[in-house]
Structure 1
Amino acid sequence: MKYTVQKFPFVVPTNDGKLIEEHFGQATDGNSEISIAHMVAPPGWSEPFQTPLFDEYTYIIKGKKQFIIEGEKVILEIGQSIKINKNTRIQYSNPFNEPCEYLAICLPAFTIENVNREAD
């Protein structure tokens, strides 16, 4: 087959109100090289700090997203993107009043083992 159309992304179960739809990656098609996910982070959402073993690219579709990268605060808005290199300590959050919709691409693919989240 020369191509794959993804009509049914894997919806990752969460308990923090965040929508994660993996279109390609470990959970969807067993791909360990790349993961591509559509995300919506609700207002007030945040994750613990983490030091992933993958590069992560983020592109903001709607809203704003806050990144704390090695202690530096970076805020991305609609149409902006960022690459976070692997082995970088980071915290992702949406401390704003509107949901943040974005795409996340991880190389190699996201796995829970390789995200290295810190305890809350």
Structure 2
Amino acid sequence: MKPYTIQKQPFAVPTTDGKVINEHFGLATDGNKEISIAHMKAPAGWSEPFQTPQFDEYTLILKGKKQFIIDHETIILKAGQSIKIDKNTKVQYSNPFTEVCEYISICTPAFSMDLVNRED
């Protein structure tokens, strides 16, 4: 067994909102509960409900812009910028802009719908 893993076929997470999620490592891909790493593309006009995840989330913007509403503060990041949002923080993610936002998301522990706590 080799002391490394090359991910050639990330898991394409099914979505209903137009967002593309390709998980390279994490629960859906390899059962890893400690960390998830995903390459994402959020279409123009996309948004998610507010949530209070039980994991830290790091986001690195590769292209476009992404909006975060964190504790009533609106933050807009553009390509080359990144953010860490601590677990148990209420946040809403969106792309209210006119171009696709491409980004990398890293969650510790790994992303799980059981831990995201989305509002209705």
Q: TM-score normalized by structure 1? A: 0.99
**Counterpart amino acid of residue 4 in structure 2:** Y
Report the aligned-residue RMSD.
Answer: 0.3
How many residue pairs end up in the alignment?
119
Cα offset, 1:21, TM superposition: 0.3
Partner of 2:34: 33
Note if 1:59 corresponds to 2:74.
no
For 1:57-104, what per-residue CA distance to the aligned partner results, in whole angstroms no more than 9, with x for missing partners?
A: 000000000000011000000100000000000000000000000000
Unmatched 5+ stretches in structure 1: none
Residues in 2 aligned to 1:70 and 1:7: alpha-carbon distance in whole angstroms: 38
Q: 2:75 is matched by which residue type in structure 1? A: V
Inter-partner Cα distance in structure 2 for 1:111 and 1:16: 18
Give the TM-score, by structure 2 length: 0.99
Distance in 1 of aligned mates of 2:88 and 2:72: 14
Q: Tell me how far apart the structure 2 counterparts of residues 51 and 80 of structure 1 sit (CA, whole Å).
A: 22
